[in-house]
Amino acid sequence: MIAFSTLACPDWTLPQMIAAALAFGYDGIELRSVEGQLELDKLAAFSSERLPEIRRQLQDQAIAIVVIGTSCTFHTPDAYLRSLAIDSTVRMAELASALGAPAIRVFGDRIQPGVTHDETVNWIAEGLSTLTDRLAGTGVSVWLETHGDFTSANALTSILQKADRPSIGLVWDPINQFVESGSFALLPPHLAQRVQHVHIKDTIRTDSSVNYVLPGQGTFPLSELIAALRLMPTVQCVSFEWEKLWHPELAVPEIALPYFVNWWRQQ
């Protein structure tokens, strides 16, 4: 299954996104920003009264919501703020359930000033286990993205061991490690079997900057990534993450979205 992140078209409405998925040949949509809003549960378009009709439209068009990307992080030393993040993510999970999405995406994310790596790992693990327990029975899973200061295999292993919830999946965004360190490493088997969803993008990385480009036009070893994906049976979806919301200089979605489908079909 291939999908695109709505970071590529952050101001579009959901009907526009569904139409683009159909027109360009995508199987699904990774919901992140809709109508300029990241907190999707606050949109009138996703009110409880409208959700059944939206789900019917998605089913009729055979377009899946493959995951809902939240802004949830667990890195703050403030336990109250971490609890608020969990509450907000539970509300997003209710939206995911109503739309038939299998999971919500969360972050680790950054080691904050004045705290240690181990303390942050403990907070992340606690947040993941608490959130997973609160979503038990909803049909919505928790997927942790490889992001921020927690992209290495060792860091991810520590988090998942401490969280001790086998159902927690991974959203593998390998370019995050490439951007942070300049290197790309395949995941070891015990992590690879957790990967449910993979972000695809490319970049030209220099010592002083990172410039995102269309797939195949940069220096990221996409051929190695694709070869690895063929050996990862748990992966449900690959998603084109064209981060126009964060990088407005990038090409418009009308160019980028069909480009990715054409490129992917040639791999």
Percentage of the chain surpassing pLDDT 70? 100
The residue-averaged pLDDT of 73-92 equals: 95
CATH, domain range 2-265? 3.20.20.150
- Whole-number pLDDT of residue 210: 83
Strand ranges in the chain using DSSP code E only, listed in sequence order = 2-5, 28-31, 64-69, 103-106, 141-145, 169-172, 195-200, 202-205, 210-213, 237-240
- For the cut 90, the answer to whether the pLDDT of residue 176 exceeds it is no
- Whole-number pLDDT of residue 129: 97
70 vs 182: which has the higher pLDDT: 70
- For the cut 90, the answer to whether the pLDDT of residue 190 exceeds it is yes
The residue-averaged pLDDT of 257-262 equals: 98
pLDDT tens, position by position, 198-235: 999 999 987 767 899 999 999 999 999 999 999 999 99
- Whole-number pLDDT of residue 178: 86
pLDDT tens, position by position, 132-152: 999 999 999 999 999 999 999
- Cβ contact 109:147 at 8 Å: yes
Confidence of residue 181 (pLDDT cuts 50, 70, 90): confident
- For the cut 80, the answer to whether the pLDDT of residue 182 exceeds it is no
Average pLDDT of the chain to the nearest whole number: 94
- Whole-number pLDDT of residue 117: 95
Q: How far is CA 167 from CA 42, 160, 170, 205, in A?
A: 28, 10, 10, 34
- Whole-number pLDDT of residue 226: 94
**Residues β-bridged to residue 144:** 106, 170
Q: Is the dihedral of CA 254, 69, 235, 148 positive or negative?
A: positive
pLDDT tens, position by position, 23-68: 999 999 999 999 999 999 889 989 989 999 999 999 999 999 999 9
**Cα–Cα distance for residue pair 32/7, rounded to 1 Å:** 6
